[in-house]
Amino acid sequence: MSWAVAAGAKVWRVSDLRRWMAEAAAAVCGRKTWRRWRWATGLQAVRDVTLALLRANPDAIKWPVGRRRAQILRAFRDKGFPNCFGAIDCTHIYIDKPADAPSANYYDRNHKFSVQAQVVVDLDLRILDVHVGYPGSVHDVRVLHNSQLWRRAQTGELFDAAPENLPHGVVTRGYLLGDKGYPVACPWIVQPYGGIDQGPDEERFDNRQKVARGCVERASGRLKCMWRLFLRTHKTNLETLPQQFVVVCTLHNILLDAGIDFDENRLWEVGSDGVRRRVDLGIVGGGGGGRPQSSNFEGELLWNVLRDRLALM
């Protein structure tokens, strides 16, 4: 949208007026002082807009209830995962080397400086929960254990669907799908079996589980490629970054509700070598190898029953 104002017989673009005002201010007070003032006022503007958007849309990111929850549960059931509430994963927000924090803490496995954002997503790519702010070197498990999501799940507050009676006496009221980076001992995160020596049922389960939890990567791709600041390494304020990312997640959900299309071409870019490749979404896998042995008997039963159920679909 082009904004303009009338000045006598001429029409000036607002962007030109702002530029001329900035140059005049720099000439009066000195360019260094002007740059510091411009940065300070810009930061305050970001804070003001962030708070305004959060206050105006307090329920844009929320755990599903009522009709919305029923839709989510039905969608995952059709994928072979009854009473599944969503998929969970972490994405890295790349930042410049922090100046006022221990930089080694923010140096992640991709050899970049980053901040972790944990998200839970449904099959419509809506973000149901977000927890952001931990340094990039922190493992997904620690981020999970320090999140409100963990505390609510452990107290039985999150997974309250009608009990689903599965074979072998297994009953579940809800769970999430996750990769192998999450703790095996957690009964409400269903992981893939993993490993290379798989039977046909385990292989089928892993393929279907990977497709279903792929909604996290698709949601991250849509979000970061629409707000490309979070796709690239950028200078940021570590104190305000969490709120800014939550606001972008809020806008992401609002655009989904409004039916705004996303251009899939944004997921691709041409590098300096002329090769077209997918952009780096900052999602780090949970590693290879098979699933280790666990004393989590309840979780193991659920995994095995879901595997057997998928084998019959």
At 180 the three-state DSSP class reads: coil
User: What would the pLDDT profile of 174-223 be if each residue is shown by its tens digit?
Assistant: 999 999 888 766 889 999 988 888 889 999 999 999 999 999 999 999 99
pLDDT at 100 (0 to 100): 78
pLDDT of 32 over the 80 cut: no
Instruction: Band the pLDDT of 20: cuts 50, 70, 90.
Output: very low
d(CA 121, CA 215) in angstroms, rounded, equals 7
pLDDT of residue 26: 46
126, 87 in Cβ contact below 8 A? no
> Whose CA is closest to 188, among 177, 197, 199, 179?
177
Q: Domains of the chain: which residue ranges? A: 4-56, 66-311
**Is the pLDDT at 8 greater than 80, yes or no?**
no
- From 27-36, 99-108, 132-141, the region with the lowest mean pLDDT: 27-36
Q: Which residue has the higher pLDDT, 29 or 49?
A: 49
pLDDT tens digit sequence for 120-177: 999 999 999 999 999 999 999 999 999 999 999 999 999 999 999 988 888 999 999 9
* The pLDDT value given to residue 10: 40
Q: How far apart are CA 172 and CA 169, in angstroms?
A: 10
Residue with more model confidence, 135 or 54:
135
* Cβ(309)–Cβ(167) below 8 Å: yes
> pTM for this structure?
0.82
Map residue 94 onto helix, strand or coil: strand
Beta-sheet strand order (sheet of 175-177): 127-135, 114-121, 84-94, 175-177, 189-190
